[in-house]
Amino acid sequence: MRVAMYYNNHDVRLEEMPKPKIGPQELLVKVIASGICGSDVLEWYRLKKAPLVLGHEITGEIAEVGEAVKDYKTGQRVFVAHHVPCNKCRYCLDGNHTVCETLHTTNYFPGGFSEYIRVPAINVESGVIILPDGISFEEGTFIEPLACVLRAQRMIGLKPSQSVIILGAGVSGLLHLMLARALGAAKVIITDINEYRLRVAKELGADAAINAKEELPSCLLQENDSRLADQVIVSTGAPSAFAQGLACVDAAGTILFFAATQPGVAVPIPVNDFWRKSIKIMHSYGSSPQDALRAAELIGKKTLPFQKLITHRLGLAQAGLGFKLVAQAQECIKVIIEPHKEPINLSSHIKPSIKKE
């Protein structure tokens, strides 16, 4: 079978690998759609393991079923989670699935940017969701990133009366925007340095879209009735965004670090000031199986415009182009790789879903 082998952001090669063989408790899934995540292009994180096949936002069809698997059958349309928790350790039992040691060691093989994946028994047990007929393969690729966003907003306890500022208008930031809007947040403001993404954010319902090069706290006060934000969501790894986030939170508010910086980067926190103002700092990484189920249910309701986030659809042979587009972060939001759809006419597929008026 063919795979897109990652060496770095500018070197992703179409290579051949044997189709995986499955065991009695495993599944073989034919990958139909696989989204490129922003974390896939973090070279400081990926290069130490390269070369490897990335891709963890997949949907597909079950091609083979292990003889001991009872709950699934060939031909079913599925989403498959790459990381799954044990659901038995002290962290899982306390609701902290994303720090479970098992979650950090599980994955399907070889990765979502391939024609087929082998799904291990533990992933079969708690990481497979059958897609309802109303969810397309493309929409299903949003289950994983949306589950992460759902968990994050659940953790901070976002309320309809609150104002939210989201720093970073990439896929995660826009999903935070869409979900906060759906939950009835009083005001949702978003920032980025990319004017294209800011325009998309406005079309998706942002009350204001501010260029992050501006003096952000002052702009926020103008847009939010002379108040800072109740909820600050940092959805970009740029160190400057973390500093801006600390300056944008109102008294009794919460800062959520949804993204991560490179290792070793320190962010100075005004401890005394935050102590006096009862400001909370939180983090959110990953999601649980329950979050994935909730994400699938929300996508199935068709109330949020996930299709509008897809700007590029590429075949497996163009995966290298997809990585470059995501890494450059220009007129690009979500890139979907379709391993079994080639050749693809690039001139007809590389088009933003949201066009300038």
pLDDT for res 135: 96
Q: Is the pLDDT at 34 greater than 90, yes or no?
A: yes
- Write the pLDDT tens digit of every residue in 275-329: 999 999 999 999 999 999 999 999 999 999 999 999 999 999 999 999 999 999 8
Please give the Cα distance from 1 to 120 (Å, whole number).
19
- Write the pLDDT tens digit of every residue in 79-130: 999 999 999 999 999 999 999 999 999 999 999 999 999 999 999 999 999 9
Q: How far is CA 159 from the centre of its chain?
A: 22
pLDDT for res 341: 86
User: What Rg, from alpha-carbon coordinates, does the chain have?
Assistant: 20
Please give the Cα distance from 230 to 250 (Å, whole number).
5
pLDDT for res 349: 45
Looking at residues 216-231, what average pLDDT do you find?
97
Q: How far is CA 138 from the centre of its chain?
A: 14
- Write the pLDDT tens digit of every residue in 230-288: 999 999 999 999 999 999 999 999 999 999 999 999 999 999 999 999 999 999 999 99
Q: Is the pLDDT at 23 greater than 90, yes or no?
A: yes
Which spans in 86-231 are helix H?
90-93, 121-126, 137-140, 143-156, 171-182, 195-203, 216-223
CA-nearest of 59, 51, 151 to 336 is 59
* CA distance readout (Å), 238 to 167, 168, 266: 10, 9, 12
CA-nearest of 135, 125, 6, 110 to 59 is 135
Q: What share of the chain is helix, strand, coil (3-state, %, to 5)?
A: 35, 25, 40
- SS3 for 233? strand
Please give the Cα distance from 326 to 298 (Å, whole number).
26
Please give the Cα distance from 180 to 316 (Å, whole number).
34
Q: Give me the domains of the chain, ranges plus CATH numbers.
A: 2-134+302-349 (3.90.180.10), 146-283 (3.40.50.720)
Q: At 304, list the tokens.
A: 């949020």
- Write the pLDDT tens digit of every residue in 331-349: 999 999 999 986 555 544 4
pLDDT for res 346: 54
- Write the pLDDT tens digit of every residue in 142-194: 999 999 999 999 999 999 999 999 999 999 999 999 999 999 999 999 999 99
Backbone φ and ψ of 83, nearest 5°: -105, 130
pLDDT for res 350: 44
Give the list of residues 6+ apart from residue 209 with CB closer than 8 angstroms, or none.
169, 189, 190, 191, 192, 198, 199, 201, 202
Give the list of residues 6+ apart from residue 175 with CB closer than 8 angstroms, or none.
142, 145, 146, 149, 309
pLDDT for res 354: 44
Identify the band that residue 353 occupies on the pLDDT scale cut at 50, 70 and 90.
Answer: very low
* Whether the Cβ atoms of residue 109 and residue 29 lie closer than 8 Å to each other: no
What is the identity of the amino acid at 31?
A: V
Backbone φ and ψ of 61, nearest 5°: -120, 140
